[in-house]
Structure 1
Amino acid sequence: MAGVSTADPVPPLPPAIAVWFETRGWRVRRHQLEMLEKARAGRHALLVADTGAGKTLAGFLPTLCDFAGDTPPGEGLHTLYVSPLKALAQDVKRNLLTPIAEMGLAVRVETRSGDTPSDRKKRQRERPPHILLTTPESLSLLLSYPESADLFAGLRRIVIDEVHAFATDKRGDLLALSMARLQTLAPGATRAALSATLANPRDFQEWLAPQAGDTGEIVAADLVLGEVGAEPEVEILLPIEERIPWGGHAGRWAVPQLYQAILANRTTLVFTNTRFLAEFIFQCLWDVNEDHLPIGIHHGSLSTEARRKVEEAMARGELRALVCTASLDLGIDWGDIDLVVQMGAPKGSSRLLQRIGRAGHRLDVPSRAVLVPGNRFEFLEAMAAKDAVDEGQRDGEPFRPGSLDVLAQHVMACACAGPFQEDALLAEVRGALAYSWVDETTFQRVLNFVADGGYALKAYDRFKRIVRDKSGTWRLSHPSQAQRHRMNAGIIVDSEMLTVRFRNGRSLGKVEERFAAQLSPGDTFFFAGMSLEVEGVKDMDVTVRAAKKSATIPSYGGLRLPLTTHLATRVQAMLADRAGWGRFPDDVREWLEMQDHRSQLPSPGELLVESFPHGGKHYTAYYTFEGWNANQSLGMLITRRMEDRGLLPGGFVANDYTLAVWGLKPVTDPAPLLSPDILTHEFTEWVTESYLLRRAFREVAVISGLVERQHPGQKKTGKQVTFSTDLIYDVLRKYEPDHVLIEAAWADARSRMTDVGRIAELLERSERELVHVTLDRVSPLAVPVMTMIGREAVPQGAVDDELLLEAEGLIAAAMRPDEAWEGD
């Protein structure tokens, strides 16, 4: 948690801390001192520093100095630490206890999460530790107790770790509202946020600082930049004898080389982008593990016990390799990792840097990483990510207005803590930047919803949670409402699996709710080796029948990480930079040169669309570079529009870079299919008819507290929750379509579920710079997405895309010189 050995004198610090640094041969780093100075001056501060730079110690140094001074603080909560992961809080506690013990400080440190026993939680409210390590959800619950005002009255410092991981989502909304509450309870507390990877520090500075209320002034925390560490060493792995695959994303071709790398290093961390891929690569490594090396696996679907067992084995240095997902992206300190491997494209430079930082974990030692591209587009993406890392460029998710369902949950938490005045709470809420936009009308709608569920539901007593007395004070309708809130509050709503079954009840298996949410009656998709037509989606079932036509919608498993706009722009720039192709492998360079000869390459700011025949069908490839989610949504919309125009669409496939749509009639002009009104007509119709809005409503209904997952002594099943929310959804859609939760569900459907913002940017681009090329056969650039057609007929990972029946013919057609081409 500290710095490098040096002969420099230790700066003025309390003797116990100064001696501790001297004993270890460390110096206090510049950014650690700056964070101390900001705290002493009462300034809020954001620290952006490389992994291994001692960020955690920088965050806690003002606290340790307070307790090591001549007049240490007395009993009571002094510092609140908030992290996105319970495991990270446990790791930080372990790393804090050692220096506290070695310095001889009388500081009690405890964690608080959903795993903390109820008796300890009760004791923490009555006799809090000096330092409490928690999560946004647990902090919100702690603020819901009447004694929270006394508990937090003496709070001096708030430390938010890995702030990039959650500030821009709903967990960040909840934390922002909790900090606004703390600003009222402990106005003198200073805030500090820590991160290694921020593209837009100014936005996070504004998010971190309390807002100026009615003046509308946007204030910002101070920015502290960490000392620059050793540059990471990033290598892109290439096949030794084979060519880079055209399609696929698993990178299985690299398993023999990956195994040799594991043999050559003490400990290797292998990152994958999905849980399925983690399981697949783990099994591939075991298949070649002739030396019986201890290799583990870690992802969010494993049990808590299984994850902890692996984490403890890693901490003890007992594993040679660990295959994992984003579950280990964040700052758990395993300093003996020699190498990080990224299987498949990293999808973002900040995410890549975060993962690279797991290796070495020291500022003066370069982190080593190997990127394994699954296909040729992923090679370009890996190159773009490597260039961004080399240039120090970051990317990340933008901030958006705070969600109303989270605000409703917070209002209920405040009511549980005690009666409140409407005007005072609104002013407090607007102290959070995410909610500075909330006006009196919007806040009144939220209050009315919490009070009785809204106009269409107010006749039902079970929705009456708070009441306003004659003096205008809001309070709980009954004391039991507090227990109900604490049992059900939270932000994370687990995704359900829906059963695919025939009308006679025969089950074919399960699909993710994320996929099922896009389906409408009449849609066809491939599953269990059959082409199926959707009859309906209700409760937890997708009812189907055998389709009379081929499937139009691909079915994929696993949540996909989005390709960032930053990397997408870099990849397009690389395609346009012909002079830079010399650094590419021969097969990639030949691929691009043939594309340039036969068609065109998409330039930055341009939308290239290609149309060509293949296998008796007419294909159109849209090179969007907007990510899989946006392309998947656009595919649904375009096929609907093609159907209306009599173009007889047959289906579509999508990856992060390209959307390929096919039909029985050619698309002679793609512009009408891409007109912006598709987002006001087809989009609204599709979202309303599909399961998307219902799924979004279920999440906001649970988060807002309208539908409860747990009651004393019992817990609702996912099916019961879905049934309840579907009934309420139907009532509100019919009688109160402008209900605050319908509005919140639409916001989620537009942003998280469909990436409509990126689709809108794409449509705007198409109006300015649409280039349509008509070809006599498939183009080289279209081959990677075309190899995906039919992939759903086989288990994922069972075969490489190179071995699919269509692949060889596609590649031959795309790469054959014009004079050798004789037609389809």
Structure 2
Amino acid sequence: MLERIDAADAVAQLFKARGWRPFDFQKDVWARMAAGESGLLHATTGSGKTLAVALGAWHALLQEEVQGLTLLWVTPMRALAADTMRALGEALDALETLDPTSPRWTRGLRTGDTSSSQRAAQSRKPPTLLVTTPESLSLLLSRENAQDYFSHLRFVVVDEWHELLGNKRGVQTQLALARLRRWRPGLVTWGMSATLGDLQAAKRTLLGPRGAGALVEARLKKKLIIDTLIPDAPERFPWAGHLGVKMAPQVVAEIEAHKSTLVFTNTRAQAELWRQHLLRLRPDWEDCVAIHHGSLAQEERDAVERALKVGDLKAVVCTSSLDLGVDFLPVERVLQIGSPKGVARLLQRAGRSGHAPGRVSRVTMVPSHSLELVESAAAQAAIRRGRVESRVSPVAPLDVLAQHLVTVGMGGGFLPDDLLAEVRETVAYETLSDESWRWCLDFVRQGGPTLRAYPDYRRVVPDAKGVWRVRDKRLALRHRLNIGAIVSDASVMVQYAPRGQKLGTVEESFVARMKPGDKFWFAGRLLELVSVRDLTAFVKKGAGGGATPRWMGGRMPLSTTLADEMVETLARAAEGDIASPEMRAAAPLIKLQQRWSALPTPQTLLAETLKSREGWHLFLYPFAGRNAHLGLASLIAWRAAQIAPGTFSIAVNDYGFELLSAGARDWAADLPRLIAAHSLGATRDEVVQSLNAAELARRRFRDIAQIAGLVITGYPGERKSARQLQASSSLFYDVFRKYDPENGLLQQAERELLEDELDVRRLHEALTRMNARRLDCVALRRCSPLAFPLIAERFRESLSTESFNARIERLLAQLNSAADA
């Protein structure tokens, strides 16, 4: 008869076999999970968070007979789900080998890539451990027997909680957790992350406003190296994209010096372009430098991940598709092309190298223009001081709630009062008003007051006992096929003709501008368009050159944390502190900015005015991020027009904005009135008046309408085009504005436009801070180094590529000549 070994001995033997010793934080998590306690684990990437929580569940259940779905593991990405399953499987196999008498854990993976036969098998006999995503979890909750399916559930783990916390997928997860806790009151819930700012707020969002739990922080001294590739000749007049390509030889040298490197870019278009640049310099790397981003086909991404794991790739040019905790042990270096835009993102990407306890993580920033040297120095200073961005949950998005009501209506039904109490057990909806709740019920029951005549919107209806259910099987199928909170622009599949390999997707608007024979770069290949049929672009291999697709939503605004640190770094430079390599390299720009104008500081608001042949310029530098600057520029232009009618050209970047008036303006005299801070509500009203807010909200409404189930993307093989989706949602938008102005989705679109897209709260905070500072208004004789990228941004919007480059080069020559004089 086999003797069962002690759980602690089994874990000790497992760690010893791998040459490890358990950390104190891992032991802490094991003890807390064994005691039935929930919590949030915050530890550096590659320190053993997965083993801490997985072995905690195994340890807690060692003396029990495990049956049914016992441990649910939620991850934000499909790729991460598959990698997590492999890591958990290896650990459980090792433990079961050490203790043959321990309970056998069956394992299952359920994502959008899971085959129908696998899903059917999981339905007949649920695995002990199921790794899934928020969307697939919602699908499980929509099963008629959902409560029975989860009847043995003991543990839920939410991996990479920071990735979900601040968005609608996180809200979807909060609602799912509230449902599971109602069914399983003793459910133990743990979240994991490496890059959270406000840990207490993150824990509260995970466990609910009244949920108690532990906060476990790993106090590990994992070595992290952050440095910068310094350009040979940093430029005094920076502009986005100009310096990046010139850094390619240095990037090649860094890749050459290491076994395996991840080259992160901030957009998919940048990833495509950078791979091209690398291969122009090293054509012999064609087979060992790959590309990875979210628009590539799953098969393409899987192939790259497998090759990266076994060390077959010299480098992968990638985007946030590889940000999360996928374990690539061969990776020695991470390069970040351009600004990471945030401290947390930089830390997350740094952790992709040295992804194991005791190994060194190293990230090297590659500036695409000279001001990013200052950003790099600021990011390093923020990390030394422990300043990391906080994320907050969206507040009461009605589109996600409406979708959840239909999901629960399919998953056994609900009593409205009971479900309202459950929904309010989430941070997202703890302040949900009775009025909004009644509106959601009416919306899913009959589409609200304007759609009650149409059967397709009678999705959830009460039965004789008052239980609200989805009765129409056709509507239930439609809901299952369109469930989720991920909304993207309509895309076109790229596939080799006639019916060959699928490479991935590009946006429909990009393909719509092309004709057969046109060439474009995609998936690291030069392709020629053959034809477009049924939202599929059939292609063949091309030769020569071509365009690169641009995807919407690529630009990320500079975070408040990094922006504030950047201003403080510039203030220190104003006092002569340029000790870091980055600031020494940026010294020519900094000194010229001081000579011709001034540097921003936390105590001053820098404004610059300039009269040129184009008109009267105002440059203002709040350092509030691109989105807030767009709102600020529009607001100040609108206020200026109230003083004296006129039209304005606007340019914005992360550091500031430019207003250009064709007519004479005394910007310096008007500035105190233009930047005056009023209440948040008054600022919000002014922003709405200063922009074409109705049209912007119309575009936002399309995404909300999809999530709420008002419009659908279609069925497999019958996907709707972007034009069809926009037309459908616009029709609803116009009807609601005319006949139902209090419609909850309409109000949500306007709120999200202001809160997310235009970032009105940050805009208002920026106005308040601007008024608290001393106004430092400088009349320029010529464009300053800080003003130059704004002028370049305005030129880019109005000129062709050839005209833009020529004009920029002429302006640079004039400015450099003046600087050298």
- TM-score, scaled to structure 2: 0.86
Could you report, residue by residue, the CA deviation over 1:554-591 in whole angstroms, capped at 9, with x for unpaired residues?
x9965112211111111111111223234355562243
- Residue in structure 2 matched with residue 111 of structure 1 by the alignment: 109
Displacement of 1:683 in angstroms is 2.3
CA distance in 1, matches of 2:806, 2:673: 33
What RMSD over aligned residues (CA atoms) do the two structures have, in Å?
Answer: 2.8
| Aligned counterpart in structure 2 of residue 655 of structure 1, from 644, 653, 656 | 653
Q: Would you say the 8 A contact 2:34–2:60 is kept in 1?
A: no
Distance 1:439 1:797, change over 3 A: farther
Displacement of 1:488 in angstroms is 1.5
Between 1:633-642 and 1:311-320, the stretch displaced more is 633-642
CA distance in 2, matches of 1:459, 1:268: 59
CA distance in 2, matches of 1:722, 1:714: 16
Q: Would you say the 8 A contact 2:237–2:785 is kept in 1?
A: no
- Residue in structure 2 matched with residue 789 of structure 1 by the alignment: 794
CA distance in 1, matches of 2:51, 2:189: 15
Distance 1:156 1:800, change over 3 A: farther
Displacement of 1:706 in angstroms is 1.5
Distance 1:156 1:585, change over 3 A: closer
Displacement of 1:711 in angstroms is 4.6
Say whether 1:493 aligns with 2:487.
Answer: yes
Q: Which amino acid aligns with 1:791?
A: R
Distance 1:168 1:605, change over 3 A: farther
Alignment of 1:102-141 (within 5 A): 102-104=94-96, 106-141=104-139
- Residue in structure 2 matched with residue 395 of structure 1 by the alignment: 389
SS where residue 368 of structure 1 aligns?
A: strand
CA distance in 2, matches of 1:286, 1:766: 46
Distance 1:729 1:37, change over 3 A: same
| Aligned counterpart in structure 1 of residue 377 of structure 2, from 380, 383, 397 | 383
Could you report, residue by residue, the CA deviation over 1:48-101 in whole angstroms, capped at 9, with x for unpaired residues?
11111111111211222245x3x3433200100001000001001111222222
CA distance in 2, matches of 1:256, 1:109: 46
Alignment of 1:61-72 (within 5 A): 61-66=55-60, 69=62, 71-72=63-64
CA distance in 1, matches of 2:698, 2:285: 48
Alignment of 1:198-597 (within 5 A): 198-212=196-210, 219-241=211-233, 243=235, 246-249=238-241, 251-289=244-282, 291-292=284-285, 294-469=288-463, 471-496=465-490, 559-577=554-572, 578-583=575-580, 585-586=583-584, 588-597=586-595
SS where residue 559 of structure 1 aligns?
A: coil
Q: Would you say the 8 A contact 2:235–2:370 is kept in 1?
A: no
Q: Would you say the 8 A contact 1:207–1:220 is kept in 2?
A: no
Say whether 1:756 aligns with 2:760.
Answer: yes
CA distance in 2, matches of 1:195, 1:587: 35
Could you report, residue by residue, the CA deviation over 1:90-126 in whole angstroms, capped at 9, with x for unpaired residues?
0011112222222226211111111112232233223
Between 1:751-760 and 1:789-798, the stretch displaced more is 789-798
Could you report, residue by residue, the CA deviation over 1:382-441 in whole angstroms, capped at 9, with x for unpaired residues?
111112223333224333313111011111111111231111001111111111111322
- Residue in structure 2 matched with residue 73 of structure 1 by the alignment: 65
| Aligned counterpart in structure 1 of residue 161 of structure 2, from 136, 160, 163 | 163
Displacement of 1:804 in angstroms is 3.0
Displacement of 1:328 in angstroms is 0.6
Distance 1:457 1:273, change over 3 A: same
Displacement of 1:447 in angstroms is 0.8
Q: Would you say the 8 A contact 2:399–2:708 is kept in 1?
A: yes
Alignment of 1:5-84 (within 5 A): 13-66=7-60, 69=62, 71-84=63-76
Displacement of 1:23 in angstroms is 2.6
Distance 1:765 1:14, change over 3 A: closer
Which structure 1 segments of 5+ residues have no match? 1-10, 213-218, 499-509, 515-539, 541-554
Displacement of 1:610 in angstroms is 1.4
SS where residue 689 of structure 2 aligns?
A: helix
Q: Would you say the 8 A contact 2:377–2:569 is kept in 1?
A: no
Say whether 1:153 aligns with 2:151.
Answer: yes
Distance 1:587 1:322, change over 3 A: closer
CA distance in 2, matches of 1:236, 1:802: 30
SS where residue 579 of structure 1 aligns?
A: coil
Displacement of 1:469 in angstroms is 4.3
Distance 1:712 1:343, change over 3 A: closer
CA distance in 1, matches of 2:246, 2:113: 41
- TM-score, scaled to structure 1: 0.86
Between 1:676-685 and 1:732-741, the stretch displaced more is 676-685
CA distance in 1, matches of 2:389, 2:644: 42
Distance 1:585 1:423, change over 3 A: closer
CA distance in 2, matches of 1:638, 1:604: 21
Q: Which amino acid aligns with 2:17?
A: T
Which structure 2 segments of 5+ residues have no match? 97-101, 493-505, 511-534, 536-549
CA distance in 2, matches of 1:639, 1:556: 29
SS where residue 794 of structure 2 aligns?
A: coil
- Residue in structure 2 matched with residue 741 of structure 1 by the alignment: 745
Distance 1:74 1:312, change over 3 A: same
Q: Which amino acid aligns with 1:281?
A: W
Distance 1:321 1:157, change over 3 A: same
CA distance in 2, matches of 1:88, 1:21: 23
SS where residue 480 of structure 1 aligns?
A: helix
- Residue in structure 2 matched with residue 673 of structure 1 by the alignment: 674
Q: Would you say the 8 A contact 2:236–2:588 is kept in 1?
A: no
Distance 1:40 1:586, change over 3 A: closer
Distance 1:358 1:797, change over 3 A: farther
Between 1:757-766 and 1:278-287, the stretch displaced more is 757-766
CA distance in 1, matches of 2:691, 2:444: 26
| Aligned counterpart in structure 2 of residue 97 of structure 1, from 72, 89, 93 | 89
CA distance in 1, matches of 2:43, 2:182: 30
| Aligned counterpart in structure 2 of residue 613 of structure 1, from 596, 611, 614 | 611
Could you report, residue by residue, the CA deviation over 1:487-539 in whole angstroms, capped at 9, with x for unpaired residues?
111111112489xxxxxxxxxxx99999xxxxxxxxxxxxxxxxxxxxxxxxx
CA distance in 2, matches of 1:605, 1:448: 52
Q: Would you say the 8 A contact 1:359–1:368 is kept in 2?
A: yes
CA distance in 2, matches of 1:558, 1:431: 32
Displacement of 1:20 in angstroms is 2.2
Displacement of 1:758 in angstroms is 1.4
Equivalent residue pairs, number: 749
SS where residue 620 of structure 1 aligns?
A: strand
Q: Would you say the 8 A contact 2:178–2:423 is kept in 1?
A: yes
SS where residue 166 of structure 1 aligns?
A: helix
Displacement of 1:205 in angstroms is 1.1
Distance 1:79 1:697, change over 3 A: same
Displacement of 1:298 in angstroms is 0.9
Q: Would you say the 8 A contact 1:247–1:802 is kept in 2?
A: no
